[in-house]
Structure 1
Amino acid sequence: MVYKSKTQKTYLLSPVALFISCVLSPFAFADDTSLEVIDVHGHAQNKHLALGSSESLLSDLGVDFSAAGGVSNLPILNGLMGDRVKVLVDGADVTAACANHMNPPLSYISANQITSYNVVAGVSPVSAGGDNIAGVISVNSISPEYSNSNELDWHSGYVSAKYSSVDNGRKLGVGARLASDTFSLNYQGSFSDADSYEDGNGDVALDTLYRAQNHSLTAAMRDDKQQLVIKLTHQKIPYQGFANQYMDMTDNTSYGAIAQYKRSFDNSELEGQVNWHSVKHEMGFFSEEKTGMMRMKTDAQDISTQLKWRIALNKSSSILLAQEYYNYRIDDWWPGIEGSTMMGPNDYVNINNGKRERIAAFAEYESQINTKLWLNAGVRIESINTQVGEVQPYNDGMSMMDMDDMSDMGSMESMTMSDTSTDNTVAAQNFNAGDRDKTDTIVDANLLINYQITNYDELQFGLARKNRAPNLYERYSWGVSNMATTMIGWYGDGNGYIGNPDLGVETAHTLSATYIKQAKDDGWRLSTNVWYTDVNDYIDADIVRSFNSYDLDNTARNILQFTNVDAILYGAKIDLTANIYESKQLGNWQLHANVTNTRGKRDDTNQPLYQIKPLQTQLGISQQMGRFENALSWQWVDTKTRVDNNRFENQTDSYSLVNLSSKATWDSLTLSAEVSNVFDEYYQLPLGGVSIAALKQDSSNGFEQLAGQGRSFNVSISYAF
């Protein structure tokens, strides 16, 4: 979807191109005049009523989500998921440090902490971020506020709470700020706790429970030319269920620090940022809803630096020059189980001293050529190096699993293992003897044009070449046994995956066009967007062999190996906003409607790509009357028949959801009540993957699709002081 985005005025600001600052900067350079931009969705205000996952905010901007844990769903843009979507949190690039991507970047920030967020789908400028082909999601919590006094004193604070009946969910958010005219100190925290939710039939969706907390402390200093910001973060997730994975999260403890510096000169602006993020992550079992003994651990660290210099060429044109460095390190090992002949006596070393290093430089030109024409063009060059050390299996002489020890894993009982190709000992020897150091050089380029046909008609055009290098798990997951391979993969499909050291870089060529028409009296606005993406060396997976844990017709799964293929994705979106009624007695009534359709397929087989959402429509009516805001929405999702057969992707039936909400705001108090899925409809999530937790409880139903949430009564309160 395409919206106009305006960036709020902040400190240290001079007239520069707002497109770059809106998309990239945690706090933007701006002036009083905002510039309409291409393919950016944005909001600049948050009243802290939103709590928990940021999914509730981003879904309104056209972001779909692949189901994972309660705070760890993976974003999808234009049919592309995982690392293909670049996610920046306060401008920092944080890598998912897990073979199942249980700790993606968005899981490290809660909705109440977010002050602005933007989505650039498909054609994004090179300054928005590299190493992606789907687009960029940027969420920001750094927004220093100062007072008029030279004394440091209380500035503002809030406390928010939410309860949801469908999962007995309890969420709490708090914030407090001290400020003077030159210094700002801000704390924000959140806590979430939920049981496994119920579906529309009243049955528990097993293993969807979670608990999480996030904390941040931000200090900012300024004078009339410059600003320095330092932010410290901490997250603790003691447990989080993953219904569509063979294991759960039993701990995720992270610490982070960000330092940002900005300085303005007469005709230029300098911005620098340093980021450090460290996480210790553990997988295992914690609930009777899915049991077992196996453990997996990762230790990972992200370090990055960014330096940007924007030079004003004249009043309407500027050039941005930048250099970026990213260094990601990870160790991934699976502790041996004492007394086990299958998972012992050694630790299974999956990724040993893994490194993914990026060095990037880019130049971007931006100009308001005349009153009708705006242009953005840029080129980015990156060198990406990946490497890992030698690995080891659980033991050095076992070519076949001991079936008596399958209960140690707790998820794949009675696997049949008779092929010597499943010998992890041989696989480790071959892997250690091979080339484990790869360097890729990639070039991104973009062209964005906005033409104002009339005061009420806009034409937006975008063309981009974008690249993404393989992540460490796609390239270096070396295990070949059924157990080892099913520990790899963020798809929630129950299959197993083998890495491929010879994977090449994904290269996407995307064309996007948008036409926007609005009424002369601003009574309505219509936006239509079409896009087409041709991906060379798309990283998909081909079947190596099959296995069947339960020897039933509906419990077969595949072992796949990552491979490069060519693929095509395309789609269309229509958005309409219209004022439909206004009176003093009944307030302002507005209509919101959109339709989205996405397709994707492999070129070699014409097989649909995995997890492409079917046709969907949304229709909503909102009313604003004084301090009250009411909304009624209807969402319809078509039957999903285009599925990836290599992954045994399930078809899903069409469904409709109706949601009703009401909010009232007084000076400092906001109350909200809503009913989601009003008619308690049972539906299966088209992007939900399969419920492995349900399979383990009752294998007779096979790999059923994960069901969505049933009716929920939700109440929220936020008090500012």
Structure 2
Amino acid sequence: MKTERTVQFQSLLSPLALLIGAILAPVTFANDNALEVIEVQGHAHNTHLALGSSESILSEAGVDFSAAGGVSNLPILNGMMGERIKVLVDGADVTAACANHMNPPLSYISSNQISSYSVVAGISPVSAGGDNIAGVINVNSISPLYSENSELGFHSGYVSARYRSVDNGRSVGVGARMASDTLSVNYQGAFTDADSYEDGNGDVVLDTLYRSQNHSLTAAMRDDKQQLVVKLTHQKIPYQGFANQYMDMVDNTSYGVVAQYKRDLENSDFEGQLNWHSVKHEMGFFTPEKMGMMPMETDAEDISYTLKWRLNLSNTSTLLLGQEYFDYRLDDWWPAVEGSMMMGPNDYVNINNGKRQRIAAFAEYENQLNTQWWLSAGVRVESVHTDVDDVQGYNNGMSGMDVSMPIGPNNTTAATEFNALDKDRDDTLVDVSLLLSYQMTDNDELQFGLARKNRAPSLYERYSWGVNSMSTRMIGWYGDGNGYIGNPDLEAETAHTFSATYTKSAKDERWNVSTHVWYTEVSDYIDADVVRSLLGSEPAAQRNVLQFTNVDATLYGLKIDALYNFYESRALGKWQLKAGVINTRGTRDDTNQPLYQIKPLQTKLGLHQKLGKFDNSLTWQWVDTKTRVDDNRLENQTDSYQLVNLSSKVTVDALTLSIEATNLFDQYYQLPLGGVSVAQFKQDNANGFEQLAGQGRSINIAMSYAF
């Protein structure tokens, strides 16, 4: 087991960290042209104030997050979490390689590295990605910039820093670009360190500390018709606390390569991409805030390619043809603990030589039918193959000891039964999407869509075989303190979704209102049924062991956004009001029980002022009481709360400074999507599994200098 001191000094700087410099990267701004798409693109400006997790950026685009580690929170779209959302980083499909999903795709990129992003909730075009039912999030850091000179020379750079008082968080971001008229070389790096944060009562929320660094080196070359880009990435997380899990991350080391090729042809264009990503991941304990002694290790590798060929059929129509292949390999084992009767003498093999291979082909047609109607229709067919080799428990010769349940299921029998199975599984996924946009008038637009989307089970959902209390507690990314057992007979999820959006704007563009509704029926939704209870010393300490199972489910929601530019003058600047409300519901069809981690009604109101070089804002957020909870997972109810945030930013030439106060009135609240505090329970179980508390007041100061 690694000590805290050892972890803090382990590999703080990698060789790539010696490349320090600067980059002038794009500023982000919203573009809502496509149905349920929030797309951010860039132009040359200094915008690297955002550092650390991409959560702050994506939250503004309507993405909720399930609490996890400081840089590893899991996104939620339309009430669906985790791998139901396809998350692409620079177009690469990276799989969470951990039984607790501690290293999801968004954890591999820092927000200062993001030059553009898009969020497609619900109905996404088939070309955006398959193997998902909730939508697609695509974050991009590849944005080659060239100079007008034929010689390679320094182009631009930046250095950024940020401090947060609530967790003593320190973040630094740097970048540098060399460029000519045909070559571009760009480095970006980020380092973040934070202690455990405090809640609104001033109490430390245990085991929320972390340290992370990300590095990328991108080289691009072009001529008049083609461009080749190669990006190298490296991440090092020496430790990251997970308050709502039984284990913590004590190492995550990854390397990746992305190669993109684009070529313009006479009446079409071609795009190809090759991706490789490798990670070594270790779970354990590193802080007195959550003690323990148990190692868990994971090695994983993603290899994939994507080929796209866009044909211009006419001045108004195109046909996009694509073919993709994804190969994911996973080994997950828990080394024996010397001298432990329960965790030894053998290594516990959870996933042995796990394989998840996908091959897909798609066709997508777009046509601007006339001045009012736009159409996009696509079909995607995908084959998914999964398999694993034989496994073993800590002791192959006798029943494994179980501290919480001395008499009950044992892993020796479970491993024998699992190894006797034919574990080879194949799923065929057929996605269909139809998107229509009708420009009723210059100021009225109606958009609607229909889609059938599919997702095949993950390796952990299908093949997590352990049945005793300890091993099941190690499986699950829900932060609920329960234990989970896999199910080799799971079917793929199939979602049928309808959505509609109506947007009305003023003729003088002083205001606009957008209303969006969506409805999804999911066949074979992967939920979980209770197998048995894990009784604690008190009723409040009770947890359950659950097994993944297929059920039918229904999800639906309403979202309203409004903007009003109500005042403008030379003396007081431009004033704007933004408001939004969103409500989501999800239930199991067989029991009418609410689905897990559905956020209650929430509203947001913001007052924004732009005066010369200053941007100021005052926002108010209200979240309703959460009473619709998943009883199978013993989900906690939460009280309503409201948060007020205040921020100001000024840009003077190449220097941007900002100061903000989040949770200005230091309100105590519990996160509706936060899960339970396992760390607090392990220190004091008198109150059972309490909901994870949110952050108290924080004064955040940031600066970014471009040169």
TM-score normalised by structure 2 residue count: 0.95
Deviation of the 1:525 alpha carbon: 0.8
Deviation of the 1:402 alpha carbon: 5.7
| SS of residue in 1 equivalent to 2:249 | strand
Question: For residue 126 of structure 1, what is the amino acid of its counterpart?
Answer: V
Q: Which residue of 1 aligns with 2:39?
A: 42
| SS of residue in 1 equivalent to 2:391 | coil
| SS of residue in 1 equivalent to 2:124 | coil
Matched, 1:558 2:544: yes
Q: Which residue of 2 aligns with 1:447?
A: 434
Matched, 1:475 2:448: no
| Residue correspondence of structure 1 range 45-444 to structure 2 within 5 A | 45=42, 47-401=47-401, 403=403, 415-419=404-408, 422-444=409-431
Q: Which residue of 2 aligns with 1:603?
A: 589
| SS of residue in 2 equivalent to 1:544 | strand
Q: Which residue of 1 aligns with 2:663?
A: 677
Deviation track 1:274-302 (CA, whole Å, cap 9, x = no partner) reads 00000000000000000111010000000
| Residue correspondence of structure 1 range 522-541 to structure 2 within 5 A | 522-541=509-528
Contact map agreement 2:607 2:618 (CA 8 A) in 1: yes
Alignment partners' CA distance in 2, 1:36 and 1:370? 16
Alignment partners' CA distance in 2, 1:148 and 1:471? 48
Deviation of the 1:632 alpha carbon: 0.1
Alignment partners' CA distance in 2, 1:568 and 1:381? 24
| Residue correspondence of structure 1 range 499-538 to structure 2 within 5 A | 499-538=486-525
Deviation of the 1:83 alpha carbon: 0.3
| SS of residue in 2 equivalent to 1:522 | coil
Contact map agreement 1:470 1:503 (CA 8 A) in 2: yes
Contact map agreement 2:400 2:412 (CA 8 A) in 1: no
Pick from 586, 595, 603: which aligns with 2:572? 586
| SS of residue in 2 equivalent to 1:159 | strand
Q: Which residue of 2 aligns with 1:408?
A: none
Pick from 638, 648, 651: which aligns with 2:634? 648
Contact map agreement 1:341 1:402 (CA 8 A) in 2: no
Deviation of the 1:399 alpha carbon: 2.2
Question: For residue 609 of structure 1, what is the amino acid of its counterpart?
Answer: L
| Residue correspondence of structure 1 range 605-684 to structure 2 within 5 A | 605-684=591-670
Deviation of the 1:70 alpha carbon: 0.2
| SS of residue in 1 equivalent to 2:59 | helix
Alignment partners' CA distance in 1, 2:414 and 2:158? 55
TM-score normalised by structure 1 residue count: 0.93
Alignment partners' CA distance in 1, 2:545 and 2:352? 23
Contact map agreement 1:446 1:462 (CA 8 A) in 2: yes
Q: Which residue of 2 aligns with 1:570?
A: 556
Alignment partners' CA distance in 1, 2:142 and 2:563? 31
What RMSD in Å do the two structures reach over aligned CA positions? 1.1
Deviation of the 1:93 alpha carbon: 0.2
Alignment partners' CA distance in 1, 2:150 and 2:508? 46
Alignment partners' CA distance in 1, 2:661 and 2:40? 24
Alignment partners' CA distance in 2, 1:385 and 1:704? 40
Contact map agreement 1:54 1:109 (CA 8 A) in 2: yes
Contact map agreement 1:400 1:417 (CA 8 A) in 2: no
Deviation of the 1:398 alpha carbon: 3.0
| SS of residue in 2 equivalent to 1:473 | helix
Q: Which residue of 1 aligns with 2:677?
A: 691
Alignment partners' CA distance in 2, 1:493 and 1:398? 31
Deviation of the 1:265 alpha carbon: 1.1
Deviation of the 1:417 alpha carbon: 2.8
Deviation track 1:441-482 (CA, whole Å, cap 9, x = no partner) reads 110000000000000000001100000000000000000000
Contact map agreement 2:196 2:204 (CA 8 A) in 1: yes
Q: Which residue of 2 aligns with 1:495?
A: 482
Deviation track 1:489-529 (CA, whole Å, cap 9, x = no partner) reads 00000000000000000000000000000000000010000
| SS of residue in 1 equivalent to 2:254 | strand
Alignment partners' CA distance in 1, 2:585 and 2:366? 32
Alignment partners' CA distance in 2, 1:559 and 1:587? 58
Alignment partners' CA distance in 2, 1:229 and 1:43? 21
Alignment partners' CA distance in 2, 1:208 and 1:588? 39
Deviation of the 1:182 alpha carbon: 0.2
Deviation of the 1:566 alpha carbon: 0.0
Deviation track 1:21-79 (CA, whole Å, cap 9, x = no partner) reads xxxxxx99xxxxx9932111022237111100000000001100000000000000000
Deviation of the 1:400 alpha carbon: 4.9
Deviation track 1:654-705 (CA, whole Å, cap 9, x = no partner) reads 0000000000001100000000000000000000000000001111011000
Deviation of the 1:416 alpha carbon: 2.5
Structure 1 unaligned segments of length 5 or more: list them. Answer: 1-26, 29-33, 404-414
Question: For residue 458 of structure 1, what is the amino acid of its counterpart?
Answer: E
Alignment partners' CA distance in 1, 2:133 and 2:583? 19
Q: Which residue of 2 aligns with 1:17?
A: none
Deviation of the 1:255 alpha carbon: 0.1
Question: For residue 448 of structure 1, what is the amino acid of its counterpart?
Answer: L
Contact map agreement 1:400 1:418 (CA 8 A) in 2: no
Alignment partners' CA distance in 2, 1:275 and 1:617? 40
| SS of residue in 1 equivalent to 2:429 | strand
Question: For residue 146 of structure 2, what is the amino acid of its counterpart?
Answer: Y
Alignment partners' CA distance in 2, 1:375 and 1:328? 35
Deviation of the 1:109 alpha carbon: 0.1
Alignment partners' CA distance in 2, 1:435 and 1:719? 59
Alignment partners' CA distance in 2, 1:36 and 1:696? 49
Question: For residue 571 of structure 2, what is the amino acid of its counterpart?
Answer: Q
Q: Which residue of 1 aligns with 2:12?
A: none
Contact map agreement 1:217 1:231 (CA 8 A) in 2: yes
Contact map agreement 1:662 1:673 (CA 8 A) in 2: yes
Deviation track 1:121-158 (CA, whole Å, cap 9, x = no partner) reads 00100000000000000000000000000010000000
Q: Which residue of 2 aligns with 1:8?
A: none
| SS of residue in 1 equivalent to 2:432 | strand
Alignment partners' CA distance in 2, 1:36 and 1:597? 23
Alignment partners' CA distance in 2, 1:101 and 1:417? 29
Alignment partners' CA distance in 2, 1:211 and 1:348? 28
Contact map agreement 2:552 2:588 (CA 8 A) in 1: yes
Contact map agreement 2:402 2:468 (CA 8 A) in 1: no
Deviation track 1:246-297 (CA, whole Å, cap 9, x = no partner) reads 0000000000000000000121000000000000000000000001110100
Alignment coverage as a number of residue pairs: 676
Pick from 427, 443, 451: which aligns with 1:464? 451
Contact map agreement 2:566 2:576 (CA 8 A) in 1: yes
Q: Which residue of 2 aligns with 1:21?
A: none
Contact map agreement 1:174 1:190 (CA 8 A) in 2: yes
Contact map agreement 2:32 2:38 (CA 8 A) in 1: no
